[in-house]
Chain A
């Protein structure tokens, strides 16, 4: 009897051990899969585009169709301009809404806003483009950098709202109470204690959002429109890296295909840099918070 129990226990134990090990292998395979896909994309990009990635690419304007050479200088600058405009619109509103949701809103309202931001997050980006076309481009009677920045900016709002709300909420209640106990008004507690404490997370949220919209093509098709030249005012069409990559990739010319790959490399490197910057900022900020 005793032996029997022991052996059945032993069998269960072994079965569980095998399951356990198998599942760990499966999970690690999944993790390797993620790296493998990223690695594959990167090597493919570099093989296809590296030959076109020269100084000319970063300093010259595009050449007319079918002629070799030329670069995407205006598109690279254009993407930065658009991101700048998007930040000007998306960050103040998103951050403000995030703080309000965490600090002031009653539960029901906060829940409703959160739900709406999640819905907005799921809206296909082309819809933002069409919206911006209707409210910006048509009344202004012109495609423009402003409308492109507007489309990207409103895309950023729900994402920034959600991330900043989460990070502001994570600030310990004791910190707030400490401030309030000293007689500091609530708004000063928020501005001087809560937000600085959450700043690392908030910045990460902004950076990740920025990296995400940097690669968007669809919202720009009918807003920023694309420009072969440097734009001279924000009310005019503007070139953008993803747009340029799209136009070049569907063209029948080999040299343009190579440049499209090079553009994609630059875009990915930009996203890497923005993400890296976010990481760096978080580490430095957490060091500063802990006083080291």
Chain B
């Protein structure tokens, strides 16, 4: 009994002794930018050995909740916080955009590879259950020459609260007044029809197993899993393939407000892919801890400049230059 106790005490102490004088900064939130964040934290940690960033991807909703409860040093979200959420927080919260990403509409149709053409109103009506067949005239008229089957459309959406769902429903609300009135936007909404899959992986799995299905996932995810995805019709009427370049264009010409809480879906830029979004880090304007505050600000300065070069390899679009400049000015106001 004594031996066992001694062993446990030794283990606890042993595990706690290593690295006595470095700063650990904890963050939590969105899963969407998790790959680029973990790459950044790793690279930044190598260059700045005294600082360690620990990021747990618990979802955008979780990130907002934990930063509000101040249990983490920074949060992360794919959808901006609402006014209610901001006033509920114990301090002023800044949204700092880090990269941009695209949500793609993927499908499983035998004989149809990448590049099915879809417009926003058709997509909204599919998700509203108004268009139920793949050979509906509203789909076929956009896809001359593509042999679309008469099978029914199986709609797949996310079952969990997700930033990806927010971006997707934000887009549908922007292009369809019917969707806006009946369903609206949010991290989890009351889906009129369809099957739910947990996480990007769940949706991708359902798409792979269900012929005739349609769903939405992040661009990086569709690429890594070899899912075919649609070219979406943008505001100026062109069908645009989701790529890093066309995602970047979504922010071009958009008016970025000083608090960065901006939606860039359905961008007016003629070369832009319409289902794109920023993803944000959430930090307090007044940091409680000087060392941690300084480290977080330094990290963000690095991430939006030198760090951007890692974005493209991981299928994220880098920030436009004017946004980077705005962020640098914003960071001057952070106190620690």
Contacts and interface: CB of A to CB of B under 8 A. Distances in A.
Interface of A: 63-66, 77-78, 80-81, 83-85, 87-88, 137-138, 141-143, 199, 203, 221, 225-234, 236-237, 247, 250-253
B39 interface: yes
A137 B72 CA distance: 10
A88 B8 contact: yes
Interface in B16-66: 16-20, 22, 24, 26, 28, 34-35, 38-39, 41-42, 52-58
A63 B42 CA distance: 8
A252 B24 CA distance: 27
A64 to B, nearest CB: 4
Given A142-B26, A143-B26, A225-B26, A252 B200 contact: yes
B54 A229 contact: yes
Contact of A64 (B1, B38, B200, B221): B38
Interface of B: 1, 8-9, 11-12, 14-20, 22, 24, 26, 28, 34-35, 38-39, 41-42, 52-58, 69-72, 198-201, 204, 221, 224-225, 314
A252 B12 contact: no
Given A228-B55, A229-B52, A65 B39 contact: yes
Of B12, B14, B69, chain A has the most CB atoms within 10 Å of the CB of: B12
A232 B19 contact: yes
B16 A84 contact: no
Contact of B12 (A66, A84, A143): A84
Contact of B16 (A63, A143, A232): A232
A84 B19 contact: no
A228 B58 CA distance: 14
A237 B26 CA distance: 8
A250 B201 contact: yes
Given A81-B12, A88-B8, A143 B72 contact: yes
Nearest to B310: A64
28 contacts: A64-B35, A64-B39, A64-B42, A66-B314, A80-B11, A84-B11, A137-B71, A142-B26, A142-B71, A225-B26, A225-B28, A226-B56, A227-B54, A228-B38, A228-B52, A228-B53, A228-B55, A229-B24, A229-B52, A231-B24, A232-B16, A232-B22, A234-B16, A247-B56, A250-B198, A250-B201, A251-B201, A252-B201
